[in-house]
A and B are shown apart, each in its own frame.
Chain A
């Protein structure tokens, strides 16, 4: 472990947002109210559709946008009224924002130069960071002579050279092609494992969120929908929004009615046992539906997509669309009516009005081991 690793790990600060609001005027409220605490050294991915306020949130932490109200604490220090340079944050931008007229070395050393660090120390720290990021051979080049991945690395180098308490990423991978995006994701994960900086990473890409995050903060119209580990978010989505946002293809949401003993679709089919009464939204992931002869639930197939590793079936069930992911090699009867079985332990129930998940809705109806067997 080189010196800069330890320095950043030591500098890693926690971030606390208390009642943070952001509004440009009375009509355009971006963030109505936000309370969240990020632990030191934690890698948080802020995920949400465009316009959900995630970039604004990042810029407010960085100090590039003012907060309209509330407090931001970094390492226990109130920073919401401080200039960006006094907050101890560094940022990696979507378009890298490298200075085109400076060499790679000058780009990385610029913050140190502004801070008045001596030339010798600047050169030493640039060398350390460049070695760490595999940029040692490119120090004399200008950004225009680098590939997308190399520019990305320079941007990261520029951010970590100051040993910041917080690293902020604003959709840094969205300008890269698919292969490079994957490679950079692996590199970022590896870098975080080594330097352990508190990181906030904004993206709209759920794969980046699932693979990089210690915890994912899902934002929708400036509200926190859920803030939890990737596993918990995938397996226990707190709302219909989260359920549909994470997973590809997204979770199926079906309108069902409880009659006191079972949940029924509009055409009367029973999809689960349930003691409650009233209207609900039932969620089930495409991979938790099995096509098998004698399955109790019937649906009309409309379309099938063969993706090689698996197939996606698009079906119609009681007038609602249903997607099914079949495992590789599954023999699908190509007749128009499918016989399905829903993995009962993998059902999610959401309140019809609030769209929030009703926790433990099915605990009493079906035990887990039986459904796992059924799921094979």
Chain B
């Protein structure tokens, strides 16, 4: 603690300097979180005024609702497919861009650009790209009519959602993974080449083990973030449809809470989702984090 006192002469000054950020975090993160937990034990009036403590009744109601379990299952399927692809696709791109192949330098720049696009904009663009009549897949429908229509077919809608999410996840994960690959000393590749390992073998024996910290980071962030960040995509591309086939938990919470005015039910689902995300992150750290060798 001596270093702190030598930096700041006044004991309240550090706190004062951190206050604006702390205030933001408290106002926009901790207060809503606790509010959601609090409401999940109450029956709230949709337009305010008077609430009634109901104990675990909200939980009982939500957990017995088949729609909740469907949305939860879709969330897990989305998490496993979209999040995994959102790491694996950038990983392949980063490995390619790390090599001295043609155009790898401009590619390193171009692949970062989508980072600057908001989720809702990506949704609008992908809704257009995958439009069955004018989009990229339209020629397929002229060959086999009705093969592709995300407006009617739930699977098609889900695929559209996954594609949009993977695309939006490329820049950040690409940058992190490429940075990890670039930090592997050049002589490590040379040593492996001298040891007889070809480029493919080097990916699995040298490159992947050495970027484990970066891979771990991207996986944890993807798995925890995809659950909530997919909201903007659903809202702009599918609106949860067709027939609820793309209603993930986060979208169901929004619909229940702000369209159905079931504030207590939405709060309860929020609380459940939050605990799930926390457990997920904790599991990743417990089962994967310990095995990672951060030494270079």
- Chain A residues with CB under 8 Å of chain B are 59, 62-64, 83-85, 89-91, 93-95, 97-101, 110-111, 114-115, 142, 144, 158
Contact = CB atoms under 8 A, between A and B. Distances in A.
B296 A115 contact: no
A99 B190 contact: no
Contacts of B212: 101
Nearest to B206: A99
7 contacts: A62-B194, A84-B194, A97-B185, A99-B188, A110-B197, A115-B196, A158-B195
B190 A114 contact: no
B193 interface: yes
B185 A101 contact: no
Contacts of A83: 193
A2 B188 CA distance: 30
A38 to B, nearest CB: 19
Which of B191, B205, B293, B296 has the largest count of A CB atoms less than 10 A from its CB?
Answer: B191
Given A142-B293, A142-B295, A97 B190 contact: yes
B187 A111 contact: no
B32 interface: no
A114 B191 CA distance: 13
A91 B196 contact: no
Given A99-B206, A100-B293, A101-B209, A85 B194 contact: yes
A68 B263 CA distance: 73
Nearest to B296: A100
B293 A64 contact: no
A339 B195 CA distance: 61
A113 B150 CA distance: 50
B195 A97 contact: no
Contacts of A97: 185, 187-188, 190-191
A163 to B, nearest CB: 13
Contacts of B190: 59, 62, 64, 91, 93, 97
A110 B188 CA distance: 13
B201 interface: yes
A158 B188 CA distance: 13
Given A101-B293, A144-B295, A89 B194 contact: yes
Nearest to B209: A101
B187 A84 contact: no
A99 B185 CA distance: 10
Query: Looking at chain B's contact residues, is the secondary structure mostly helix, strand, loop, or mixed?
Result: helix
Contacts of A94: 187
Contact of B191 (A59, A89, A93): A93
A144 B262 CA distance: 57
B210 A100 contact: yes
A110 B193 CA distance: 11
B64 to A, nearest CB: 48
B187 A93 contact: yes
A158 B205 CA distance: 16
Which of B187, B206, B293 has the largest count of A CB atoms less than 10 A from its CB?
Answer: B187
Contacts of B191: 91, 93, 97-99, 158
Nearest to A90: B194
Contacts of A115: 196
Contacts of B209: 99, 101
Contacts of A100: 210, 293, 295-296
B293 A84 contact: no
Contact of A101 (B197, B201, B210): B210
Contacts of B192: 99, 110
- What 8 pairs between A and B have smallest CB-CB spacing? A85-B196, A111-B195, A97-B191, A97-B187, A144-B295, A101-B209, A114-B196, A93-B187
B70 to A, nearest CB: 42
Contacts of B188: 97, 99
Given A97-B185, A100-B210, A114-B201, A91 B194 contact: yes
A100 B185 CA distance: 11
A63 to B, nearest CB: 8
A63 B296 CA distance: 25
A89 B194 CA distance: 7
Contacts of B187: 93-95, 97
A311 B295 CA distance: 47
Given A93-B187, A97-B187, A99-B188, A110 B195 contact: yes
